[in-house]
Amino acid sequence: MRKLTAYNFLTLNGFYKGPGNDTSWHKHGSEENEYASQSLKSENILLFGRVTYELMASYWPTPFAIENDPNVAAGMNNAQKIVFSTTLKKADWSNTQIINGDIVTRIKELKKTSGEDLTILGSGSIITQFADAGLIDGYEIMIDPVALGEGTPIFKGLKHQLNLKLTGSRVFKSGVVLLSYEVK
C-alpha cells in the first residue's frame, strides 16, 4: 500500500500563500535545496493542484532552474506527476497525468495499489480535501521565519480535527524549521 505525504511551506502564522498566490516570502537556502534534492531521490509520485502545478511547471523545466539548482530540477522534471484539475486540458511538463472528477476516490484507489509513494507539494485545497478524507499519512512542514498580514491558511475549510504526532524536526541555518508529523 502506498503512503501519502503532504509537503508544504508555511509562514509563522500558518499561511501557505500570501495574497495573489504569492510565495516569494519563502527563502530556500542551500541546506533546504539539499534536503529537497535528497527527498526527490525517493522517486515518489508528485501531486499538485492546478495553481501549484502551473507555478512549478513554469519554473523547473527552464534553463535558469536547471542551471541554478540542477539536482532539484532533475528530480522535479524526471518525477512522475499528477495534477488535479477540472480546467486543464493538456499538461506540457514531462511525465504529467491530469486527474479530474472525484479525486478523493481516485487517490483512495491508487493508495491501495503497490508502487511509489505519493507526495503532495503545496496545493492547500487538495491537502484539506485529502486530510478530511483521512488519506494523508504524514506531513512535512517547513516553517519560514516570516509572518504575513493576510494569506491562505493551509487547512482552510478543514471539517474535522486533525491529530498529529511529531516524528522529527530540523532547524536550517536560514531559520526555517522542518517539522515532520504522522497522523495519530
Q: What's the start-to-end Cα distance of the chain, in Å?
A: 18
Express each pLDDT in 44-91 by its tens digit: 999 999 999 999 999 999 999 999 989 889 999 999 999 999 999 999
Q: Nearest Cα to 170, choosing from 35, 23, 4, 6?
A: 35
Residue 17 lies in a domain: yes
Express each pLDDT in 93-142 by its tens digit: 999 999 999 999 999 999 999 999 999 998 889 999 999 999 999 999 99
Residue 182 lies in a domain: no
Residue 32 lies in a domain: yes
Residue 46 lies in a domain: yes
Residue 55 lies in a domain: yes
CATH number of the domain where residue 163 is located: 3.40.430.10
Q: Among 5-9, 27-31, 64-68, 75-79, name the one with the lowest average pLDDT.
A: 27-31
The boundaries of the domain holding residue 53 are: 4-176
Residue 183 lies in a domain: no
Residue 33 lies in a domain: yes
Q: Which letter does DSSP use for residue 118 in this model?
A: E
Pair type for strands 4-10 and 164-171 = unpaired
In this prediction the pTM is 0.91
Count of structural domains within the chain: 1
